[in-house]
Chains A and B, each alone.
Chain A
């Protein structure tokens, strides 16, 4: 068997920890090889070793059978290794072509020859089925399109081996489908792919083989055809994982959140929520399903007081709360797990302990007469850290130093602990691994079982289907359907999310 890349017995240490311990990864030509592991298992470290950002303490890297020393990313590029980063490295104000040629510009007597470049870009994009408009500005195109630009960048530089770092984390279900198609085309054209992910469904769908790492150690490589999601999950986590979230029947009671005729404008002044009606009752989880950009963010921001509404009412326990300040809304019994934990959820440069009292610092026992009581603050933090299993060296550690999963657990601890009547959870498991997702889902259901209302917004259909008691489908700023997850399939939901009957008809026609 011919391997295009072999990473043999790689060991990488950082002061105090072994990030990679004897990991072997062999990539065959023309395969899609998954690298599977929890957050913090050492996937990124391993790929950074391959990309020349870190030097391994032990082990050997071979490219096409020849031992190589990759000491910086340029060498990796020259060897035909390209990386599609999770967070795109694009200049927003440049066009697609300008971004692709950046650093490798085609010039004609010292002046950038944008025409030839555009032609080249168009040629590559057609060859691999990556439809983009070479002259469009990055800021004007969708996230899925931006990702294609990232892929084109690596191809333009002649990459033979492409590393995809959690590529589906930011995509809508439709875009994921398209990406999978693109990956298959790339393989047909003779490229090889390493796919870093912790989404088992994607692995089962596109990959040929999987290398699993757990806590820095290589667990082994298996063929996808000989395994199943359950086995992969337990390999990754090191214990059995429950997939279908276990929960009893909901017993909904009175309405805690009532939204009627709500209209909200987005930052550009365009109406993003257009007369939306929705109720959440105590003791139930309502999931909002929808493709990103159909008014979900604006809806959450309006409910939580971060954005002004232009019409309609939001009632919490019967009292109108629209356009009140976030503090007043919070104090009337609402908690919010924000979509962007770095932007809204945490003050990253505060210790994790102080983040635990971000809303309650001015209440007793955390302060008295305007003077903070750090003893009580950190006592509280210690309790929450223990109860919610937030893994942190101490309660004084800066929030910034925690892994994404633990940051999210800290936010959930803080929000759930305030014992809200309604909990707004916006993409609570984004970017987290199976173990953390399981934990968070359990907590959401626990809230429900304690007779609280939960509003869950997620782009993951699985999550919506598994956790919700009712699903409200949002499309272009309106709730277009409310369905029972037990009597709905993902396909049906997908069609509803795509909008009208017209689209439905079109899709059927295409089949």
Chain B
């Protein structure tokens, strides 16, 4: 069996097993799984409004997934996507509310780039510490998540506003909202950001697979010693990888800031999108196309779940459990791989 086919088969089986486990849990807790799943499906794809919402949710998931996947391909584990997303969110809003008179063609790109730059800076710190002092990026990024959360809250309260809970809405000239998308999706919150996210997926694929820089990043990810031997600058590549990863995460923040919400508010806790990005990257096998597909699944599950309590009485927490189970089965892909190999071996005999 070709390894490529196996690589596609494993996440598919993982998803199937997760759904199967969800069925069992629904049965055990006295709900009708058919009604539950059809409510989930209807809530995600049953109506043009819901489809719009799924795609809206899909957008930041793509970018968060790309952020994790990109670092991962270079051998780094960026758990700080959540923090990079939060600073990106704030930066986009800040630029969005600070200028009134700029034309859209300048203001919107400026706000988007500000988010990418903020995320990149937040990624640079752990990258630099790793490259210079061998401080493990997991520890630094986890800590920086908290720093991001509380620093942005403080800036919203004390700098951008005067002790308020949320910022004003960003100027129309910095908004990603799309009256066109809204009108064709029955007034969902679907915005232009989806195009940015898909473009980023293509950029990541091109950068990693087609350029000399990507060759270096991948080489460093697999084997730092050989990369050093071959004359690549390992430290530069580590920092660069974290910067690019952080920029993707920052853009995910911009999607929420300029598209979905249009403002930033005091957060009591993490958004969760950054952490879900880890699962999206894992499920997507850390490839651009895989991340896009996995993000679509996550977006669908997240939005569809909202309909489950309304239509079938199944608590939407159950969807979180199913997502968790899917991740579990992907993470234990070794078991699935082992089964596939056993089956295909028997086929040979």
Whether A325 pairs with B233 at a CB distance below 8 angstroms is yes
Among A25-33, A85-93, A139-147, A336-344, the one that faces the other chain is A336-344
State the CA gap A325–B229 with chains docked (Å): 9
Counting residue pairs across A and B whose Cβ atoms lie within 8 Å, the total is 64
State the CA gap A336–B345 with chains docked (Å): 42
Given the interface contacts A330-B231, A347-B227, does A370 sit within 8 Å of B212 by beta carbon?
Answer: yes
Interface mask (A346-362 → B, CB under 8 Å = 1, otherwise 0):
11111000100011011
**Contact residues in B for A372 (Cβ distance below 8 Å):** 210-212, 214-215
Residue A15 is within 8 A (CB to CB) of chain B in the complex:
yes
Whether B212 pairs with A367 at a CB distance below 8 angstroms is yes
State the CA gap A349–B227 with chains docked (Å): 13
State the CA gap A349–B348 with chains docked (Å): 27
State the CA gap A344–B231 with chains docked (Å): 11
Chain B, residue nearest A398 (CB): B3
**Contact residues in A for B213 (Cβ distance below 8 Å):** 370
Chain B contact residues (Cβ within 8 angstroms of A): what range? 20 to 34
**Contact residues in A for B230 (Cβ distance below 8 Å):** 326, 330, 358-359
Partner of A359 from the list B223, B231, B233, B345 (CB cut-off 8 Å) is B231
State the CA gap A304–B232 with chains docked (Å): 13
Residue B228 is within 8 A (CB to CB) of chain A in the complex:
yes
Chain A, residue nearest B218 (CB): A350
Residue B66 is within 8 A (CB to CB) of chain A in the complex:
no
State the CA gap A345–B226 with chains docked (Å): 6
Partner of A347 from the list B214, B226, B231, B345 (CB cut-off 8 Å) is B226
Whether B212 pairs with A327 at a CB distance below 8 angstroms is no
**Contact residues in A for B99 (Cβ distance below 8 Å):** none
Residue B132 is within 8 A (CB to CB) of chain A in the complex:
no
State the CA gap A326–B227 with chains docked (Å): 10
Closest chain-B Cβ to A384's Cβ sits at a distance in Å of: 16
Closest chain-B Cβ to A148's Cβ sits at a distance in Å of: 30
Closest chain-A Cβ to B142's Cβ sits at a distance in Å of: 27
Given the interface contacts A306-B229, A349-B222, A358-B230, does A371 sit within 8 Å of B211 by beta carbon?
Answer: yes
Interface mask (B197-218 → A, CB under 8 Å = 1, otherwise 0):
0000000000000111111001
Interface mask (A27-57 → B, CB under 8 Å = 1, otherwise 0):
0000000000000000000000000000000
Chain B, residue nearest A377 (CB): B215
**Contact residues in B for A331 (Cβ distance below 8 Å):** 231
Whether B229 pairs with A336 at a CB distance below 8 angstroms is yes
Given the interface contacts A326-B229, A338-B229, does A348 sit within 8 Å of B215 by beta carbon?
Answer: no
**Contact residues in B for A325 (Cβ distance below 8 Å):** 231, 233
Whether A362 pairs with B348 at a CB distance below 8 angstroms is no
Closest chain-B Cβ to A401's Cβ sits at a distance in Å of: 11
Whether A306 pairs with B219 at a CB distance below 8 angstroms is no
Whether B233 pairs with A343 at a CB distance below 8 angstroms is no
Given the interface contacts A325-B233, A326-B230, does A343 sit within 8 Å of B225 by beta carbon?
Answer: yes
Whether B223 pairs with A348 at a CB distance below 8 angstroms is yes
Q: Which of B299-349 contact A (CB under 8 A)?
A: 345, 348
Q: Which of A289-330 contact B (CB under 8 A)?
A: 304, 306, 325-328, 330
Interface mask (B162-175 → A, CB under 8 Å = 1, otherwise 0):
00000000000000
State the CA gap A169–B228 with chains docked (Å): 27
Closest chain-B Cβ to A194's Cβ sits at a distance in Å of: 29
State the CA gap A306–B229 with chains docked (Å): 7
A330, A344, A348 — most chain B CB neighbours (10 Å): A344
**Contact residues in B for A350 (Cβ distance below 8 Å):** 218-219, 222
State the CA gap A312–B17 with chains docked (Å): 64
Partner of A371 from the list B210, B218, B227 (CB cut-off 8 Å) is B210
State the CA gap A372–B212 with chains docked (Å): 6
**Contact residues in A for B218 (Cβ distance below 8 Å):** 350
Whether A344 pairs with B212 at a CB distance below 8 angstroms is no
Chain A, residue nearest B229 (CB): A344
Partner of A343 from the list B211, B215, B226, B231 (CB cut-off 8 Å) is B226
State the CA gap A210–B220 with chains docked (Å): 45
B214, B222, B227 — most chain A CB neighbours (10 Å): B222
Whether A15 pairs with B345 at a CB distance below 8 angstroms is yes
Partner of A361 from the list B212, B226, B229, B348 (CB cut-off 8 Å) is B212
Closest chain-A Cβ to B348's Cβ sits at a distance in Å of: 5
Chain B, residue nearest A343 (CB): B225
State the CA gap A325–B215 with chains docked (Å): 19
Partner of A326 from the list B211, B214, B231, B345 (CB cut-off 8 Å) is B231
Whether B215 pairs with A354 at a CB distance below 8 angstroms is yes
Closest chain-B Cβ to A375's Cβ sits at a distance in Å of: 12
**Contact residues in A for B215 (Cβ distance below 8 Å):** 354, 361, 372
A–B pairs, 21, beta carbons within 8 Å: A325-B233, A326-B230, A330-B230, A331-B231, A338-B229, A343-B226, A344-B225, A347-B222, A347-B226, A348-B222, A349-B222, A350-B218, A350-B219, A358-B219, A358-B226, A361-B212, A367-B212, A370-B212, A372-B211, A372-B214, A372-B215
Please give the residue numbers on chain A whose beta carbons come within 8 Å of chain B beta carbons, in ascending order.
Answer: 15, 304, 306, 325-328, 330-331, 336, 338, 343-350, 354, 358-359, 361-362, 367, 370-372
Please give the residue numbers on chain B whose beta carbons come within 8 Å of chain A beta carbons, in ascending order.
Answer: 210-215, 218-219, 222-223, 225-233, 345, 348
Q: Which 3 A-B pairs have the closest CB atoms?
A: A327-B231, A358-B230, A344-B229
Given contacts A326-B230, A338-B229, 17 further A-B contacts (CB under 8 A): A306-B228, A326-B231, A343-B225, A344-B228, A346-B223, A347-B222, A350-B222, A358-B219, A358-B230, A359-B231, A361-B212, A367-B211, A370-B211, A370-B212, A371-B211, A371-B212, A372-B210
